[in-house]
A = this chain, B = another copy of it.
Amino acid sequence: MPVSRIIGIKRHHSAIHNRRRRPSIMSEPAFIAVDWGTTSFRLWLMSRSGAVLAERRSAEGMTTAMRTGFADVLQSHLDAIGAPEDLPVLVCGMAGARQGWVEAGYIDVPASLSAVLDGAVRVPGQVRDVRILPGLAQRDKNAPDVMRGEETQLLGALASSDAGEKLVCMPGTHSKWVTVKDGGVTGFATFMTGELFEVISKQTILSHAVAEAEAFTGEHEAFTAAVRDIYAHPALATNRLFTLRSGQLLHGLTATDAKAKLSGIMIGLEIAGAHSTARRETPVVLIGSGALGALYEGAFAALEIQYTVIDADEAVRRGLLAAANAIWP
């Protein structure tokens, strides 16, 4: 029997199959979890207990799916893992944006995270039950802000969290810092750190200074020094950026040091910004992974900021799991 038939078990009819083969609750497929970002698509076949039974990753984010069709992109990945036709699908991220598949709106903060579950929107015209989670909006006049996808990471990261105030940091193209108090989101701020790092290193005069850079870590001296410098003097950010060029001209600054410095300036500025509206002692939860997560860990260490880490992939899957178990109890 092909794998696609074995994992094609209907949750509510599993007793029939149990005669032949007994899938434990750990391995029985319960729903499909999808994190559909602007430029990335990730899908997991999940059991009710959170086990990952199959996984798909592609670059078919919203930008691609807007042209090729959201339903078709989803179906091709469901076919590839042989997902049974009545298994429900829970989606978070940009698929719920106005320019996405079906608009899933925003839940206004301050809000409890459980409000996100109640706001899930069903995609019409689909054979299976496909739902998209809403984002969060902060309608503050001076600091309007939105997120889509990160609210699901939050849900996963804070599922087993204790009470009290926390700052949750989610690094990325548009990094999010969320203030969480007793399980509710009281406010958040987006920083364009990742996108600005990209355009500054590729589209400005500084591209020459960083072009030949090699990999560096969060312990790299030029990185930690820049983090500390900008954290102390955030107003000098666009001046310190220029020192990548003048440092190269006058002091022979290497490309790797220049790129590490650029990264340290952008991340240090973000942390200074997050701390400008929070108490410095507030515990930080970093939802990150890979090289970028490691850079933030290096920055927090350089600034002597206490933090704990949760893997980003794990957080979004846990969030989708918590939501799925609430939506399809």
Chain A residues engaging chain B, CB cutoff 8 angstroms = 98, 137-139, 141-146, 174, 189-193, 195-196, 199-200, 203-205, 229, 233-243, 245-247, 249-251, 266, 269-270, 272-273, 275-277
A250 to B105, CA, bound (A): 11
Give the Cβ gap from A209 to chain B, nearest Cβ, in Å: 12
Q: Contact between A250 and B137 (Cβ–Cβ < 8 Å)?
A: yes
Sample of 10 A–B contacts (CB below 8 Å): A141-B251, A142-B243, A143-B239, A144-B247, A144-B251, A174-B242, A189-B239, A196-B238, A234-B234, A236-B273
Give the Cβ gap from A219 to chain B, nearest Cβ, in Å: 20
Q: Contact between B146 and A250 (Cβ–Cβ < 8 Å)?
A: yes
Q: Contact between B235 and A273 (Cβ–Cβ < 8 Å)?
A: yes
A284 to B288, CA, bound (A): 45
When distances are taken between beta carbons in the complex, the residues of chain B under 8 Å from A266 are: 238
With A199-B199, A242-B192, A246-B190 known to touch, is A237 a contact of B269 (CB < 8 Å)? yes
Q: Contact between B146 and A229 (Cβ–Cβ < 8 Å)?
A: no
Q: Contact between B273 and A243 (Cβ–Cβ < 8 Å)?
A: no
A266 to B193, CA, bound (A): 15
Q: Contact between A144 and B250 (Cβ–Cβ < 8 Å)?
A: yes
A137 to B245, CA, bound (A): 12
Give the Cβ gap from A180 to chain B, nearest Cβ, in Å: 18
Q: Contact between A238 and B203 (Cβ–Cβ < 8 Å)?
A: no
With A199-B200, A250-B137, A269-B237 known to touch, is A144 a contact of B190 (CB < 8 Å)? no
Selected contact of A191 from candidates B143, B195, B242, CB within 8 Å: B242
A204 to B200, CA, bound (A): 10
When distances are taken between beta carbons in the complex, the residues of chain B under 8 Å from A247 are: 144
Q: Which residue of B lies closest to A197 (CB)?
A: B238
Q: Contact between A246 and B199 (Cβ–Cβ < 8 Å)?
A: no
Q: Contact between A237 and B190 (Cβ–Cβ < 8 Å)?
A: no
Q: Contact between B146 and A249 (Cβ–Cβ < 8 Å)?
A: yes
When distances are taken between beta carbons in the complex, the residues of chain B under 8 Å from A196 are: 200, 204, 238, 241
Q: Which of A193, A243, A269 has the most CB of B within 10 A?
A: A243
